[in-house]
Amino acid sequence: MLTVYSEDHRQHDSKYEIYGGEMVPPHEMPRRMDMVLGRLKSENFGEIIEPEDFGMDAIRRIHDADYLTFLETIWAEWNASGYKGDVIPTVWPSRRVNNLNHMPDFPEGKAGYYALSSETSINKGTWPAAYTSAQVALTAYKIVADGARSAFGLCRPPGHHAAADMYGGYCFLNNAAIVAQKFLDDGAKKVAVLDPDFHHGNGTQSIFYDRDDVFYASLHGDPNDMFPHFLGWAEETGEGAGEGCNANYPMPPGTGFDVWSRAFEDACEKITAFGAEAIVISHGVDTYENDPISFFKLKHPDYVTYGKRIADLGLPTVFLMEGGYAVEEIGINTVNVLQGFESGV
């Protein structure tokens, strides 16, 4: 399996995030990629290649034009206003008391308009890193479209929390949605996005919620207890044409692989019944038992097991890196899934 990777991700290197009411070093950091790369190399897991540049067309198929302009320009506007730190919003449109029909001119207001949460800061290198992350994803797609069974896009920043016009959860561009749409634009009739990341992919769900050409399945921490809180309940099954094309599996603190794997099996069965012609994996490994911002209890061998089950689906498969914050183990768990997949093909 080819891995696509770019050093450009290092340009997005936030100084801190807000966590538990404190400014702390970000959980989502460049070193995460170093650990995955190190494991790929130590396991001799295939060739690692640079991404091609496919431009903005596929990104524009998913994301709002004004939102993209915001991502490209907000750092310069923030600095011009006199602010010294990273872009972190302090005010948001909120229930009942705000008018969403007007975009503020001041960058603080713009950031709040487009942000869904405050832990995700923007700095000078955020836009080029996010843009290249999408190119990593699109290059992985091209490898599969050209005939390979699978490819791994080692994307950073991640993407599944990014909606068409919102960022947060460390995500700016929704790489999985961009690739799913690319499959469709190039001729596929039905595509699945399978999201085993610990956190619900609220952005991916919102993008495809009323569509019947993408089936989205997410296994995640119960939104009563875990970010992003406001989407991810089991009763959210799609709407309009998309009714029945969205499957959420919220699970409580302490969930182990026995319970988790039953939900995973149900998701796989639904994807098969849907008739997907290709699958995009939002490849997060923050379900690990020692992850610092999660509460599932998966162990190293479990990742091999579910990697094999993905292979059993028999579909062209694009893996795209999402979460995983137990940094010392992220490489082990990430590569375990990929090795499991390879052993099952």
Catalytic residue positions, numbered: 161
Contact 316, 345 (CB under 8 A): no
Instruction: Calculate the CA 128 to chain-centre distance.
Output: 17
Contact 183, 278 (CB under 8 A): yes
Strand partners, 214: 191
Overall residue count recorded for the chain in this entry: 345
Instruction: Give the N- to C-terminal CA distance of the chain in Å, as an integer.
Output: 11
d(Cα 130, Cα 72) in Å, to the nearest integer? 10
Instruction: Calculate the CA 225 to chain-centre distance.
Output: 20
Return the number of other C-beta atoms located less than 10 Å from residue 254's C-beta.
10
With 0-12 / 13-18 / 19 or more C-beta atoms within 10 angstroms meaning exposed / middle / buried, residue 77 is middle
| Sign, Cα dihedral of 21, 25, 26, 28 | negative
Q: Which two three-digit tokens encode residue 295?
A: 């509460």
Strand-strand pairing, 279-283 and 48-49:
unpaired
